[in-house]
Amino acid sequence: MRQGRYWLDTWKHLIAYDSKRGAATVDIRSIAGTINMTKLIAGNWKMNGLLAGSVALAGGLAEKVKANPGLADVAICPPGPLIRDVLTAVDGSSIAVGGQDCHWNETGAHTGDTSATLLADMGCSCVIVGHSERRADHDETSDQVKAKAEAALKAGLVAIVCVGETEAERDTGQTETVVGRQIDGSLPGGATPQTVVIAYEPVWAIGTGRTPSLEEIEAVHAYIRNRARESHGLGSGLRILYGGSVKPGNAAEILSVEGVDGALVGGASLTVEDFWGIIESCP
Ligand code: PGA
């Protein structure tokens, strides 16, 4: 068994154990240093799926992961109302379950929102924050994303913080400026490689079937790593995922790019066959 898997299992166990005791935070830093041994493949289901199909998808994936341990750390982020059933469906496997968003407050009058505390209490291990669809559809600012990420850390969740440029920004040579600003503004205070994962997702590559060249991905990942080191003291131990039209057909080459520590997968995470094809492509 690879150390990365041990890390994930331990992490889930600690969270489950801790939430039983009702504690708000989980110390996952004690197992620092093993996080980068294995790629992280995270599925973002977005607003897709109904109950029965989602349980079948999660269960089918859990069977694959149990039968083929150690290929990658695997997380799935279903729509909020499905989390409990998905958690039950993956029980006994090493698959982590996460939210797609959280509020920055722990509780209160915020109709329609979900707190990081509740996600953790239910058994989630991570939460995506700052996805470009939330930045666009809900006008989320980097300040808000940062507050959400801080709430996630406080609840003991790993925050998967998304950044990425639009096509117009790339075409006008602003990729580094935009991504740099998002890194500076969105990463939570006190972030560590064990509590924060960055997902680089060029907006124009999401759901379009288009991806940057491998050289472009490598260059932006290197830029992000440097920037996160300068602004938040993060660097070599930090996981940086690539997201945007990752499919079984391109996963092997993307996941082999220097500085790519995994993938955040949308459309191709919606079938066992496609998502497993990506997991199997991990070098
Ligand atoms: P996609 O989405 O894989 O469907 O392009 C990725 C994402 O938005 O996380």
Return the H-helix or E-strand segment holding 196. Answer: strand 196-200
The CATH number fitting domain 3-280, selected from 3.30.565.10, 3.20.20.70, 3.10.310.30, 3.30.470.30: 3.20.20.70
In the set 131, 133, 140, 169, the catalytic residue is 131
Cα–Cα distances in angstroms (integers) from residue 283 to residues 109, 213, 258, 280, in the given order: 46, 19, 11, 8
pLDDT along the chain (283 residues), means of 10: 40 43 33 57 98 98 96 97 98 97 98 98 98 96 98 98 98 97 96 96 97 97 96 90 98 96 98 98 94
165 CB contacts (<8 Å, ≥6 apart)?
Answer: 174, 175, 178, 179, 202, 203, 204
Whether the full predicted model's pTM is greater than 0.85, yes or no, is yes
Whether 216 is a known active-site residue: answer no
Domain ranges of the chain: 3-280
What are phi and psi for residue 163, nearest 5 degrees?
A: -140, 160
Look at ligand 1, atom 7, and give the residue with the nearest C-alpha.
266
- Minimum CA distance residue for ligand 1 atom 3: 266
Alpha helices in the chain (DSSP H): 3-20, 51-67, 83-90, 116-122, 132-137, 142-154, 167-171, 175-186, 214-232, 248-255, 272-280
- Strand-pair category, 96-99 with 158-163: unpaired
Contact call for residues 41 and 282 (beta carbons, < 8 A)? yes
Q: Which of 103, 140, 201, 221 is catalytic?
A: 201
Name all residues whose Cβ lies below 6 A of ligand 1. Answer: 44, 201, 206-207, 243-246, 264-268
Q: Does the active-site annotation cover 215?
A: no
User: What spacing in Å lies between the alpha carbon of 255 and ligand 1's midpoint?
Assistant: 15
At residue 62, the pLDDT reads: 98
